[in-house]
Amino acid sequence: MDRVCRAIRPLEDRCYLEHRFDDQVRRLFGEAHLLGLPISRRYGDGQGVDMVTYALAIERIGREGTGVRTFFSGHTSLGMLTVQRWGDERQKERYLSPGTKGECILAFGLTEPAAGSDPGSLKTSFEERGGKFVLSGQKMWISNGSIADAVIVFANPKGKEEGMCAFVVEKGSPGFSAKPIQNKMGLYSSDTAAIFLDECEVPKENMLGPPGKGLSVAYSALMSGRLSVAAGCVGVIRDCLDEAVRYSGVRVQHGKLIGKHQLVQRHLGIMAVNLEAARLLTLNAAVLRQEHQDRPGDLAVRELADAAIAKAKYFAANASFDAANRAVQVFGANGYSLENRPGRHLVDTRVCKIYEGTDEILEQKIAVSVLGRDFEAYG
Ligand SMILES: Cc1cc2nc3c(=O)[nH]c(=O)nc-3n(C[C@H](O)[C@H](O)[C@H](O)COP(=O)(O)OP(=O)(O)OC[C@H]3O[C@@H](n4cnc5c(N)ncnc54)[C@H](O)[C@@H]3O)c2cc1C
């Protein structure tokens, strides 16, 4: 893992400034058998590791940047783990076996132009026609959207506002197209795209999970995705701390190393505490996620895991943003450059407070976990 991440670092440095995803990243992860880490050994290069090991691996990737970690999470946590949880044997063979080798990249398409925090309001629809499903609508802000070979998308039956279903839509399907989103404020080495479904034809066997269970599929994917965001943010905090410690040990002002100035030490101390707190919350969430994976029918475990993951993602996202901000401060003007890692972390980790559940949505979810369901803010 460490060897691959060290090989990815110079690629990431270059691609970030060139505003592009580098396909070599996919190849390097694939050749090192890392894409299949949490996938069963029955499929391709699946390694079958537990959720704690997986979280630690994502923490390591997170140190290289939120862009490369988002690629990894979009494919493995949101994509393959969702197929593993909900797919039938044919779907698992078709998407997991090549997916673990990097030969089939997945993406997860829930968000739409008018449906973000409230996925129940999505407008994409499907109908059965000529022995196929025909999907119409648009997905927005989809990580890996224009590089993916297949995207998990969600749609309601035409003319209805409930009964959501999930589908795996392959890139070459008639009526499918994707367009990269330009002018993001960061995350330059991660592909983010709009996806257009123009009477897109999908074989009937590509429905993922039981009919009408699309929201359950989406929420289970978000649990995996949020855990990976939390773990990636722990890696960001670690990298910000490492960078700030290194710089504090070489930069001299007022006749001494800046690391000897107590106000600089304060930044490092706060980062070190937040690193441990974020890591412990994330590992606790990973333990519960594993228990939920082992006993998916146990609703009490599911609720515990859901709340623990929400807490970990919420805390780690905010702590990583704070750590990046402090690392930029320790670097002074050199921090205010995208050529250095603290500045990149600052703009990139900002998205972790938005995607896969905004801070506000998670605050409410965590509050309800202590208040009880009667206090849910919305249906
Ligand atoms: C770089 C990037 C990558 C992404 N990747 C993916 C992906 O791979 N797949 C995917 O499906 N989506 C992806 N997203 C979309 C992301 O998940 C959504 O942006 C997120 O869910 C929030 O939705 P929204 O942007 O529509 O904001 P909105 O839902 O419109 O929210 C706007 C504001 O209102 C607040 N708000 C909304 N509802 C409530 C409420 N009930 N109570 C209190 N406050 C509320 C929100 O917290 C937020 O502050 C990505 C986004 C970005 C920026």
Domains delineated in the chain: 2-105 (1.10.540.10), 108-208 (2.40.110.10), 214-375 (1.20.140.10)
- DSSP 8-class letter at 175: T
- Whose tokens are 């309001």? That residue is 121
- Determine contact, residues 148/141, Cβ cutoff 8 Å: no
Distance, in Å, from the CA atom of 148 to the CA atom of 107, rounded to the nearest integer, reads: 6
Q: Ligand 1 — pocket residues by CB below 6 A?
A: 74, 108-111, 116-117, 141-143, 187, 192, 351, 354-356, 358, 360-361, 377-378
Would residue 356 show up in a list of annotated catalytic residues for this protein? Answer: yes
CA of 242 to the centre of ligand 1 (A): 31
Tens-digit pLDDT profile for the chain (379 aa)?
A: 899 999 999 999 999 999 999 999 999 999 999 999 999 999 999 999 999 999 999 999 999 999 999 999 999 999 999 999 999 999 999 999 999 999 999 999 999 999 999 998 999 999 999 999 999 999 999 999 999 999 999 999 999 999 999 999 999 999 999 999 999 999 999 999 999 999 999 999 999 999 999 999 999 999 999 999 999 999 999 999 999 999 999 999 999 999 999 999 999 999 999 999 999 999 999 999 999 999 989 999 999 999 999 999 999 999 999 999 999 999 999 999 999 999 999 999 999 999 999 999 999 999 999 999 899 887 6
**DSSP result, 180-231:** EPP--SS-TTS-EEEEEEEEEEEEGGGEESSTT-HHHHHHHHHHHHHHHHHH
Answer for the pair 126, 175: CB distance below 8 angstroms, yes or no: no
pTM above 0.75, yes or no: yes
pLDDT value at position 377? Answer: 82
Token output for 356? 């896969």
How high is the pLDDT of residue 379? Answer: 66
- Supply the residue whose CA is at minimum distance from atom 6 of ligand 1: 142
Nearest residue CA, atom 50 of ligand 1?
Answer: 141
Q: Ligand 1 centroid to 266 CA: how many Å? A: 33
Q: What is the 3-state secondary structure (H, E, C) of 254-311?
A: CCEEHHHCHHHHHHHHHHHHHHHHHHHHHHHHHHHHHHHHHCCCCHHHHHHHHHHHHH
Vertex 84, ends 83 and 88: CA angle to 5°? 75
110 alpha carbon – ligand 1 mean position (Å): 10
- For ligand 1, what atom is nearest to the CA of residue 107? 8
Quote the pLDDT of residue 378: 77
By three-state DSSP, how is residue 55 classified?
helix
